[in-house]
Amino acid sequence: MCGITGWVSFEKDARSQTPVIEAMTATMARRGPDAGGSWLGAHAALGHRRLSVIDPVGGAQPMAHAHAVLSYSGEIYNHDRLRAELRLLGHEFHTRSDTEVLLRGYLEWGEDVVHHLEGMFAFAIWDARAERLLLVRDRLGVKPLYWARIEGGLAFGSEPKALFAHPELSPRVDAAGLREAYSLLFNTGPTLWAGVREVQPGGLLTIGRDGVGERLYWSLEAHPHPHDLEATIERVRALLSGAARAQLAADVPLCSLLSGGLDSTLVTALAADELRRTEGPRARLRSYAVDYRDQAERFTGDVLRTGHDTPFATEAGAFIGTDHSTVVLDPLTLLDPEHRRAVVVARDSPIGVGDMDTSLYLLFGEIARHSTVALSGEAADEVFGGYPWFHAPQALAAPTFPWLLVTGDEAAMPLDPGLSAVLRIGEFRADTYRDALAAVPHLDGEDAHEHRLRELQHLSLTRWLRQLLHRKDRLSMAQGLEVRVPYCDHRLVEYAFSAPWTLKGHDGREKSLLRSAGAGLAPGSVLLRPKNHYPATHHPDYNRGLQQLARDALPAVQGLADESRIKSCLDTPAEELQWGHRLRLERVVDLALWLDHYRPAITF
């Protein structure tokens, strides 16, 4: 896992711009603490920061061979198989790295290399013979990749901060960017930052002397499902087992995130079984959970959480046989301005989930002291229908994005009335929703109820999931930790997306298909446990401290936030502060930190 950056310009000679590529690359140092490098040619410059995971000696980047130069972030899980295939085609290899496999794959297949890859990745290849830059992002968008126009070409980077180190680019925000951020629709392409765009998941972008071209090489499709319930359960287990097995490949210490929920428990169990199979019966996988001081005594359920995670995580670790640890955080540590600033800078955005982001960042920091790679249960809810909106009549009937029924205006930072009138977020949401539904594939013979559920799953996989993957990537990489997501294996996603909901919910519960596929892998209490979101502290002292931080932040957010509506949250007794109103305050604090760090030029 790494950070990549660079640019192409047909108007300027890049070979005299060493300080620029070094500055851009330096912004990625936390993503790649182990090594860095750069390459400059007449029209292109590529930079790279490396977190060494596979072949620490042989995988240095940027890597050049023949007429191509590569800067790459991520992991190609089938690199051994591709290496063998390329050898049969006449290629000679000098390293064990997946980087060299990707580079030689491009030399053999060109852009079509993307169809051979299984993994999470974002990469840039400069083809000197064709005078063309290729940017590619993995199918689900696990790895980020941004770009912006410059004179005679474009600049790119794993994060927007890399772009802002280029002398032609600076942090600017306009009404369109604020609308993207505060609508909570998670569009891919346009971003908060004016002039900065994302390469789409499953997309590739090229730039040459004839201009810029973009296209998708992968998207979700609906196909008739070929199996009955028993065969579907068997196939899901086989696909998930294969994904977990493939994602254990590493030359560095590896662990698993184990919350005690169904999703992470099944991934952990499959990984632990594979580790014992390959390394012997005494091999033990490390696993980690997070908790807060006094959480057992102070936990109260809310719209996102029904129970305390730690007992379930401990039981699951014992059942599976992992070397399990619980990282216990002091809730007051989450108020530390330096921790919060680090999180905002990692995100490059004021939009987050407050204490849950800070605690995840601190959890990853603790894990990174012992492991370089972690497996995660992210995406199972989107793939198998775990969210309440898949099962609630209100969500099925609502003509809007389903998460807005849970995390909409009640939890959003209230905008200044003048800004709100300019942004017209309600209209933007309605227009975007219509466009989003138009992108959902249809299956012949599908009834209205089945198609509505397909719509909700498509929205979840192509929008809601993307912000969760952003969050996990940014906060883990800011601590030098690579997080892998087996549920994002595109073959598993494709198979589950085409399975009818009569199979996905065959026993009347959420994620029925996954529960059945996981039989025997988890204790009964976990297999039957309802969906529980990432834990948040319930300590009133945290609420009091947050209220004070928000009070101090108010002067900095004038003209952007509605001060009168925020003050009502400040006047609420700390013990009575509800989750949605607390998140409002979190976003006020983060907005002030973001403004102070980036000092963006804002126009609307």
In angstroms, rounded to a whole number, what is the distance separating the alpha carbons of residues 124 and 105? 13
* Helices 579-598/563-570 angle, 10° precision: 120
Which 3 state secondary structure label does DSSP give 186?
A: coil
Q: Strand (E) positions, 336-494?
A: 373-375, 482-484
Residue 299 exposure: Cα atoms within 13 Å on the Cβ side: 16
Q: What is the number of H-type helices and E-type strands within the chain?
A: 25, 19
- What residues pair up with 173 in beta bridges, in sequence order? 602
Q: Which residues, 6 or more positions from 194, have their beta carbon under 8 angstroms from its beta carbon?
A: 172, 173, 174, 176, 177
Q: pTM for this one?
A: 0.96
How many Cβ atoms are within 10 Å of 441's Cβ, its own excluded? 15
Q: Which residues, 6 or more positions from 19, have their beta carbon under 8 angstroms from its beta carbon?
A: none
206, two tokens: 């090229």
11, two tokens: 């108007």
> Amino acid identity of 361?
Y
In angstroms, rounded to a whole number, what is the distance separating the alpha carbons of residues 296 and 439? 44
pLDDT at 53: 87
pLDDT at 294: 83
Which 3 state secondary structure label does DSSP give 112?
A: helix
pLDDT at 520: 96
Based on its alpha-carbon atoms, the radius of gyration of the chain, rounded to whole angstroms, reads 24
Q: What are phi and psi of 259, to 5 degrees?
A: -85, -20
Q: Which residue has the tokens 């930190």?
A: 593
pLDDT at 57: 82
Kindly give the parts of the chain with pLDDT less than 70: 1, 301-304, 407-411
Helix H or strand E encompassing 20: helix 18-26
| SS3 assignment for 50-69 | ECCCCCCCCCCCCEEECCEE
The answer to whether 373 and 257 are in contact (CB under 8 A) is no
505, two tokens: 């919910």
Cis amide leading into 33 (omega within 30): no
pLDDT at 433: 98
SS percent in the chain: helix, strand, coil, step 5: 45, 20, 35
291, two tokens: 């908790």
Question: Which residue, among 382, 400, 378, 379, has the nearest Cα to 457 in the 3D structure?
Answer: 382
Question: Which residue, among 498, 270, 284, 286, has the nearest Cα to 377 in the 3D structure?
Answer: 270
pLDDT at 410: 54
Question: Which residue, among 498, 493, 446, 444, has the nearest Cα to 465 in the 3D structure?
Answer: 493
At CB < 8 A and 24+ separation, what contacts does 29-36 make? 29/3, 30/3, 30/346, 30/477, 30/478, 30/479, 30/480, 31/1, 31/2, 31/3, 31/73, 31/158, 31/159, 31/477, 31/478, 31/480, 32/1, 32/2, 32/3, 33/480, 35/60
In angstroms, rounded to a whole number, what is the distance separating the alpha carbons of residues 423 and 182? 9
29, two tokens: 């140092």
Q: What are phi and psi of 443, to 5 degrees?
A: -120, 125
Q: Which residues are catalytic?
A: 2
In angstroms, rounded to a whole number, what is the distance separating the alpha carbons of residues 121 and 188? 16
